[in-house]
Amino acid sequence: MQRVTLLQQAMQAHGVPLRELARLLDISPASAHRMAHGQRMPTRNRHQIIQTVLDLFGERGADVRTLAGLERELDRLGEARDTPPALPVEDPAPAPAEPETENDDKGDETMLLSKQSLTPAARRHFKLIRDPFDDPRNEGEVFLTDDARYVLGSMLDAALHGNFLAVVGESGSGKTTLRRLMLERLKSEGESVVIIEPYILTTGGQGKDAKPLRAGHIAEAILAAVAPGRRLPASAEARSRLLHEQLRQSNRGGNRHLLLIEEAHDLHVGTLKSLKRFFELEDGLTRLLSIVLIGQTELGVKLSSAGADVREVVQRCDVVTLPPLRDVPGYLRHRFRCAGIDAASVFEDDALDELRQRLIVSRGGKAGTDLAYPLAVANLATRAMNLAASIGEPLVTADVVRQVKA
């Protein structure tokens, strides 16, 4: 359990709320919170801050012993901030600054891509009945940028016209949301498209229980979708003939067929190569199977390879990429509006600008990587809201966003 500081005890005993302390010291509530909890002393005007604290509690009737204890506590806190770390004995050269920044940015990236949740206190504090970052409940709640509309249009076109498409995006970029939206559009518009999604424990080959997705699993999924109850023959030639015939019959019955594979970045090269054979199944001029792969950036790397192993797949597959959000404030306003609340009642304008800047990090030694994807935006905003609620800040400010820890 964290130790209760003398400053916290004095604030409670003399009725000094955190926001009043921050106002009197001319510091942010976040800085006042850290100081009260013995974590960090503001560096600016440190001695003036200590004197103001002593004057405040002296006027409130604190005794000499309490004031002396407060002065020692705050002095120690300030000295701890000022004391530089000891240099190693064997290597007097200090560590360069760049690696430290890179490590900090790696922490930022981990924080941004790990799903965060609003605390009950934050939901009460901001009067949120519904979490603004819950999955969209209908198409109107999906924030469709021009980039997302283009990717969605490409997915629908592939599904309806026998194309081979790969959708590539960072984790949390909105790929799964667009997949759900594509399926909803196909259903609502009355399109007769048989969706074929090979299900397996994991498509990747990592871990002792992992089962990589193979061509045989895909063939089984296709047959189960178009001819339930039929079993695949043992020989490869008989399997191909049966699949071709069943797809042809289904197509002549008015159906289109879409092979949809998520987590496609984990597909083995052999499985990628096999997709060419499935894609080439035809009935005259009509392709019998559309293919849409959905995966993280590693999928784009595989499909950009000039190697002979995947060259024929690359030549047939179009690749579309989901970029970062261009309008982060617009995204946040939309999500809060869908939750029935104005974002201006939660965020100050400069907080939105600061939040946007925090989403630009270093990655792999390269500066300026933009992580403004929906998941990262939601995570950073959520942590800022949780912090603001914990320190009694009525709105999320730029300073609160800066204080969010990775």
Same domain, 251 and 311: yes
- Tell me the three-class secondary structure of the chain, residue by residue: CCCCCHHHHHHHHCCCCHHHHHHHHCCCHHHHHHHHCCCCCCCCCHHHHHHHHHHHHHHCCCCHHHHHHHHHHHHHHHHHHHCCCCCCCCCCCCCCHHHHHHHHHHHHHHHHHCCCCCCHHHHHHCCCCCCCCCCCCCHHHCCCCHHHHHHHHHHHHHHHHCCEEEEECCCCCCHHHHHHHHHHHHHHCCCCEEEECCCCCCCCCCCCCCCCCCHHHHHHHHHHHHCCCCCCCCCHHHHHHHHHHHHHHHHHCCCEEEEEECCHHHCCHHHHHHHHHHHCCEECCEECCEEEEEECHHHHHHHCCCCCCCHHHHHHCEEEECCCCCCHHHHHHHHHHHCCCCHHHCECHHHHHHHHHHCEEEECCEEEEECCCHHHHHHHHHHHHHHHHHHCCCCECHHHHHHCCC
- pLDDT tens for residues 117-161? 999 999 999 999 999 999 999 999 999 999 999 999 999 999 999
Same domain, 308 and 334: no
User: Looking at the domain assignment, is residue 1 inside a domain?
Assistant: no
Q: What percent of the chain has pLDDT over 70?
A: 85
pLDDT mean over 40-55 = 83
> In the prediction, which pLDDT does 195 show?
97
User: Looking at the domain assignment, is residue 88 inside a domain?
Assistant: no
* pTM for the whole structure: 0.73
| Least confident window among 140-144, 266-270, 284-288, 367-371 | 367-371
Residue 103 scores a pLDDT above 80: no
Same domain, 203 and 310: yes
Same domain, 131 and 170: no
Per-residue pLDDT band at 86 (split at 50, 70, 90): very low
Give Cα 298 distance to the centre of its chain: 17
User: Looking at the domain assignment, is residue 311 inside a domain?
Assistant: yes
- Look at residues 274, 289, 321 and tell me which one is the last residue of a structural domain: 321
Same domain, 234 and 342: no
Same domain, 283 and 341: no
Same domain, 308 and 253: yes
pLDDT mean over 92-97 = 39
Same domain, 232 and 267: yes
d(CA 403, CA 174): 27
Same domain, 163 and 241: yes
Task: Give the number of domains in the chain.
Answer: 3
> In the prediction, which pLDDT does 93 show?
40
Q: What is the mean pLDDT of the chain?
A: 85
Q: What is the CATH number of the domain that holds 77?
A: 1.10.260
Note down the domain range covering 312: 146-321
Residue 92 scores a pLDDT above 60: no
Same domain, 288 and 171: yes
> In the prediction, which pLDDT does 141 show?
95
Q: What is the CATH number of the domain that holds 158?
A: 3.40.50.300
User: Looking at the domain assignment, is residue 89 inside a domain?
Assistant: no
Residue 174 scores a pLDDT above 90: yes
Same domain, 124 and 219: no
